[in-house]
């Protein structure tokens, strides 16, 4: 079972949203949570390689969602 990270719920909410009007807000909320965690990782110098990779993948996924909104 994959680890559940503090920011992951926000990311997953954006992934499953079908209403484009809500999606932009959920993307931003996920980015805020991810950015906060990245800052925490930077300051504490903790976290796992798996989480850092998951963050990179999540940010790439959010960028794809953002592009889909712009194209709609």
pLDDT digit string, tens, across residues 6-62: 999 999 999 999 998 899 999 999 999 999 999 999 999 888 899 999 999 999 999
Task: At 51, list the tokens.
Answer: 């989480």
Domains contained in the chain, number:
1
Q: Residue 67: what are its φ and ψ, rounded to 5°? A: -65, -35
50 domain residue, yes or no: yes
51 domain residue, yes or no: yes
The distance of Cα 9 from the centroid of its chain, to the nearest Å, equals 9
3 domain residue, yes or no: no
pTM reported for the whole predicted model = 0.88
21 domain residue, yes or no: yes
3-class DSSP state of 50: helix
Domain of 31 in residue numbering reads as 8-71
13 domain residue, yes or no: yes
Measured between its terminal Cα atoms, the distance across the chain in Å is 35
27 domain residue, yes or no: yes
Question: What confidence score (pLDDT) does residue 21 get?
Answer: 87
């Amino acid at each position: 079972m994959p680890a559940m990270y503090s920011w992951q719920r926000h990311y997953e909410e954006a992934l499953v949203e079908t209403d484009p009007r809500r999606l932009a807000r959920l993307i931003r909320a996920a980015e805020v949570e991810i950015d906060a965690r990245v800052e925490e990782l930077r300051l504490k110098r903790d976290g796992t390689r798996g989480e850092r990779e998951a963050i990179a993948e999540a940010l790439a996924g959010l960028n794809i969602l953002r592009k889909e909104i712009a194209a709609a």
